[in-house]
Amino acid sequence: MNRRHIRWIIVVLVIGAASVLIWHYTRPGPIEVVVKPVERGTVERTVANTRAGTVKACRRAKLSPAIGGQIAKLPIREGDTVKAGQLLLELWNKDLVAEARLVQREADAAKAHARAAGLKADVAQREANRLVKLRKTGALSEEKADRAVTEAKALRADWEAAKASALMSEARVDVARANLARTRLTAPFDGVIAEINGELNEYLTPSPPGIATPPAVDLIDNACFYITAPIDEVDAPEIASGMRARVSLDAFGDRRFDGKVRRIAPYVLDREKQARTVDVEVEFTNPEDIRQLLAGYSADVEIILDVRRDTLRTPTEAVLDGKRVFVYLPDKKVIKERIFKSGISNWDYTEVISGLRADELVVVNADQPGVKDGAHTVVAKEEP
């Protein structure tokens, strides 16, 4: 071998060594992955509302007097708790009070007149009966007996007329009381005063037909609440009354409230373009939860359609295309793509029918760059 060949061999060796060194120092490091174990547990299939739901009171009344007038009494304030039948507002009504008193006196007089007419009719009837007996014995002429009988019948007719007049007077009393009641606003049920539109001595005007005006008093029943939430029309057919649900409220952070579906609207709403929904009502199952609520809270509901208990499950965030995961192999420090058969799923877990074993570690940040079959990895965090 001559010197020229040796020189070329040396050059090739130097280039090869340099390439190895360059590859060694420039090769990418292991990818950091976050893994979670495949385990046994509960998996639920659920549907949730498309937009925020709302806490509503079972009863809410926006009240106003039936007639207009000046506010004379306003014994309530916003936030007060009231009982059914309690006076909320009264308009000036002294004229109607006087009229009601007058017709009541007239009714009392008509009753007294009817009682007097009845007494006279009884006396005349007894006298007529006595004279008829005397006529049978021949001690009295037929003319006097007939006259007594006729007079008794006339007085009884007067009594009937007096009773009818008394009834008419009672009816007028009812009319006067009804007119008086239109000036008074009372609570139809127990609740809390949410809003008052009006002050003492201000004039209230009833809403003209077809024109809505603010109610004088807004009354909320704070002993019963439910959630109304819009569900996508595609999910609505699977929902049935009585299904379990979970309710989350922004005001209570991560706390969850148990509930159940009480009603599904029989029609579809199309308030937004390309977003048709069905309103679903969910009631709370624990009465203690209601005491902490306020009408108007925003809420989200999660309706449980199906439950699989003690089944093999994998974190849903690790699943790609509904059937692929990357399994971490601790002994080789690499990840391998695995195809598996899935069952029901939700945001947290997906049921594993086959293809994965318990305690295998799956990569939950599989969307990061560099994650692929056979990639060299290191565990950055293992979440339980």
> Quick one: which H or E segment has residue 367?
none
CATH topology (fold) of 42-57+224-382: Elongation Factor Tu (Ef-tu); domain 3 (2.40.30)
Give yes or no on whether 42-57+224-382 and 60-92+184-220 have one common fold: no
pLDDT in tens, the chain (384 residues): 556 666 666 666 667 665 655 544 444 557 788 889 999 999 999 888 888 899 999 899 999 888 889 999 999 999 899 999 999 999 999 999 999 999 999 999 999 998 988 888 888 888 888 877 877 777 777 778 788 888 888 888 888 888 899 899 999 999 999 999 999 999 999 999 999 998 998 898 877 776 777 889 999 998 889 999 999 888 889 999 999 999 999 888 888 899 999 999 988 887 666 678 899 999 999 888 887 888 888 999 999 999 999 999 999 999 998 889 999 988 888 889 999 999 998 888 999 999 999 999 999 888 888 788 888 877 775 555
What class has domain 60-92+184-220? mainly beta
Q: Is the pTM of this model over 0.75?
A: no
The domain spans of the chain are: 42-57+224-382, 60-92+184-220, 94-181
Taking each helix axis from N to C end, the angle separating 94-137 and 142-181, rounded to the nearest 10 degrees, works out to: 160
Residue 261 backbone phi and psi in degrees, to 5: -70, 125
Q: Residue 338: is it exposed, middle or buried by C-beta count within 10 angstroms (0-12/13-18/19+)? A: middle
